[in-house]
Amino acid sequence: MGNGKKLMKRLLRSVRQKSANADPQGQDPNPPTELSANLDENVRMIQSIYEDCSDVIFHDFFIGGQTRAVLVYIEGLTHIEEVDRHVLAPLQQHFALEPELPNIRKAIAVSSIKELKSTTDIVEQLSGGNPILFVEGEKQGLSVGLPMWEKRAIEEPSAESVLRGPREGFIESLRSNTALLRRKIKSPNLKIKAMNIGVYSGTKIAVAYIEGIAAPALVEEMMSRLRRIDIDGVLESVYIEELIEDNPTSPFPQLLSTERPDVASAYLLEGHVVVLVDGTPSVLVAPVTFISLLQSPEDYYERYVVGTAIRWLRYLFFGISLLGPSFYVAVITYHQEMIPTPLLLTMAKSREQVPFPALVEALLMESMFEALREAGARLPKQIGTAVSIVGALVIGQAAIAAGIVSAPMVMVVAITGIASFMAPRFTVGIAIRLLRFPMMLLAGFLGFLGLILGIIVILNHLLSLRSFGVPYMSPLAPFKSRDLRDVLARAPRWMLNTRPHLTGKWNPYRQAPGQRPGPAKGDEGG
């Protein structure tokens, strides 16, 4: 015991020392420097920063034919025709004033112009696509807001398509994405805070929330978690997600990622915080509950009866996708008396030739299915169909004919596969698909006992999870009966008067009560 403690202390100490040695600030490659009045010196400074960067262009010219100036920009990030027309043309050809900074500003017909003093700011503006103008004798550089780069058109996100509802999706450009949000929520209370994360990538991050709906503590928590991040680059929002979630070892996602502005707006209106990352169309929503991960935007765009029915169908198939094969394995190896006689006789018949135990059979088919799915997902569309035909038809059929697997097992695997694709969020679907394997092993070793053990462990885990302080299983646990109308059913819009309890308590009412429509009453002025 004593030895163990000593060992622990020593280990602890060494860990602490290691973390002290790592210098969190040591990675900044460009320490800030002030600009000078000497143009050549300034240009040399920028040139040294952008040494060996062939895409950085330095353009020398004379303002009004006398004062030397240099325009620096990164090729491909700047709208060069606009620069020619609105910066170079007025300065070179028609400039008759004193070549001072205020006069130059007046001459340039561009709405966004900033004066910059330090190289850090200049580098930031340059990499943002804004050309920088240096003028002889000026201690400041002018950043001209004319960025432009190739971007995708706004189109429907293929992973989250709906039959009814907006067909626009986020794209890779942060500014387009914030604009999409702003177009949906026009109130100035929609706040979009910006920050840069990534020492090398300098990725722009925007945190959007609605002031007055989102709890200030939640926004503050999100900002502080984001500020804590020290990473070389952010290439996708999942980089952020993994660094800010509550339980990083859980298979379940604790932030929702969506490519749909309408989904993000709906969450904003419920008091959630949305994190947008430049360079990726998927934005993060926090906090999120397990139930909301099982909901699709379409639930709210269909009539509520349909929405409720589909929601229940989804719950049912969620259960099937987790327990389907393990239930089958448990029943067929341990609890044969539970199967209706005619069904058991048929299953026994089809299993007669199969050499493997049901567990091995299930593992074989399930991993085969996962392999097929993965192969199909990575291949170009044309070859993907070929793979699915070969996989599903040929292998499935041939495996049964060869007596390696039984027909009921193929059916179970197929149903489970379809069920797992019913999860509206891919991240949840894949978590469930993974958990299926330990469940199968448990069912194979211990039958229903193992199945129940597995369910208890998963439930316990889900109940202990939190997403930004909100219990993952709310409103089921902690129980909130008022919120159940959006869980067990999709209540009609005129009944959804309140925001979800845990994110919306800051501003609980989303609409005036008593809006149930009906025909005009005869005596009320008709």
Partner 1 sequence: MDATKRKAVFALFFLSVHALCLTGCWDRTEVNDLAIITAAGLDLTEDQQLELSVKIYLTSSSSTPQMGGFSSPNSGGAGLSVVRSATGLTVADAASKLQQLISRKVFWGQDEVFIFGERLSRQGFVEPIEFLMRHPGPRERSNVFVSKGMAKDVLQLAPPIERSIADSLRKMAKLQTGLNITMKELAQMMGGKAKAAVLPMVEIKPREASQDAFAFINGSAVLKNGKMVGRMNKVATRGLMWLRDEIEYGTVTVSPENAGGNVSFQLRRSHTKLVPHIRGDDWSIEVRVETWDDIVENATDLDLSVPKHIEQLRTALEADIRQRTEMALAQAQKEWNADVFQFADAFYRKYPKEWNRNKDRWDAIFPKVKVRVEARSVISRPGLIGKSPLIPNQR
Binding site for partner 1 (CB under 8 A): 7-8, 11-12, 15, 332-334, 336-337, 339, 341-342, 344-354, 357-359, 397, 400-403, 407, 442, 444-447, 450
Sheet holding 283-286, edge to edge: 190-197, 203-210, 273-277, 283-286, 256-258
Shortest CB 455 distance to partner 1, Å: 15
Backbone angles phi, psi at 58, to 5 degrees: -110, 115
Sheet holding 132-135, edge to edge: 56-63, 67-74, 132-135, 141-144, 113-116
Task: Decide whether 51 or 337 has the Cβ nearer to partner 1.
Answer: 337
Shortest CB 332 distance to partner 1, Å: 6
Shortest CB 444 distance to partner 1, Å: 7
Task: Decide whether 7 or 477 has the Cβ nearer to partner 1.
Answer: 7
Shortest CB 411 distance to partner 1, Å: 11
Task: Decide whether 32 or 403 has the Cβ nearer to partner 1.
Answer: 403
Shortest CB 228 distance to partner 1, Å: 18
CB of 329 closer than 8 Å to CB of 440: yes
Q: How many CB atoms neighbour CB 110 within 10 A?
A: 18
Task: Decide whether 204 or 436 has the Cβ nearer to partner 1.
Answer: 436
CB of 497 closer than 8 Å to CB of 510: yes
Task: Decide whether 345 or 383 has the Cβ nearer to partner 1.
Answer: 345
* Non-local CB neighbours of 117 within 8 Å, separated by 6+ positions: 34, 35, 139, 140, 141
Task: Decide whether 19 or 66 has the Cβ nearer to partner 1.
Answer: 19
Shortest CB 435 distance to partner 1, Å: 15
The CA R_g of the chain, rounded to the nearest whole Å, is 30
Report how far residue 202's alpha carbon sits from residue 121's, in angstroms, rounded to the nearest whole number. 12
Shortest CB 336 distance to partner 1, Å: 6
* Size (the chain), residues: 526
Task: Decide whether 161 or 397 has the Cβ nearer to partner 1.
Answer: 397
CB of 330 closer than 8 Å to CB of 447: yes
Shortest CB 395 distance to partner 1, Å: 13
Task: Decide whether 311 or 351 has the Cβ nearer to partner 1.
Answer: 351
Task: Decide whether 179 or 348 has the Cβ nearer to partner 1.
Answer: 348
* Non-local CB neighbours of 279 within 8 Å, separated by 6+ positions: 172, 174, 203, 234, 235, 236
The tokens for 360 are: 């091995």
Report how far residue 467's alpha carbon sits from residue 225's, in angstroms, rounded to the nearest whole number. 13
Report how far residue 414's alpha carbon sits from residue 372's, in angstroms, rounded to the nearest whole number. 12
Shortest CB 361 distance to partner 1, Å: 10
Give, to the nearest 10 degrees, the angle between helix 407-421 and helix 426-446. Answer: 150
